[in-house]
Amino acid sequence: MTDQQASRRVELKNEEENVIAVAEVTTAAGPEGTVRTSLYAKSEHVRPGDRTNLVDTVMDLPEVQASDRVEATVPFGDAESVERLRERTANAVLRAAGASTLLDANLPREGAERSPVNEQPGERPPVEE
């Protein structure tokens, strides 16, 4: 049996229909796999809440809901996306990788409580002030 993957591009647009944030989402064929996503804003100057909306759009995709784990890549310092991912996942582990923050987490089943975030020793999640 081959390990097939499906990819999808999710775009968030503003009122003028300009793309303001993008996510690339890749899932393995079949349920209970790992979904990999890369989320980023097209500009540093997006409205508050746009990154949260992008995370929610990705997390609400049927193929994401059918998965057990998520591996997300966001630009270092994107606290809005990281915080929303932490809210929507369980047992999140964050680590810095160059200009990116990597998040590995479980996707809770409906009705399950979210577990606390686990950070690597000596590392702190990126925070925008």
The token pair that represents 49 in the structure block: 């809440």
Instruction: Choose among 3, 42, 52: nearest CA to 26.
Output: 3
Mean per-residue pLDDT, 107-111: 75
Task: Dump pLDDT digits (tens) for 38-87.
Answer: 999 988 778 999 999 999 999 999 999 999 999 999 999 999 999 999 99
Alpha carbons 106 and 2: distance in angstroms, whole number = 24
State which fold the 5-119 domain adopts: Aminopeptidase (3.40.630)
Structural domain spans, the chain:
5-119
Residue 93 forms beta bridges with which residues?
A: 104, 118
Strands 100-106 and 69-75 turn out to be antiparallel
Q: pTM of the prediction?
A: 0.79
DSSP state of 93: E
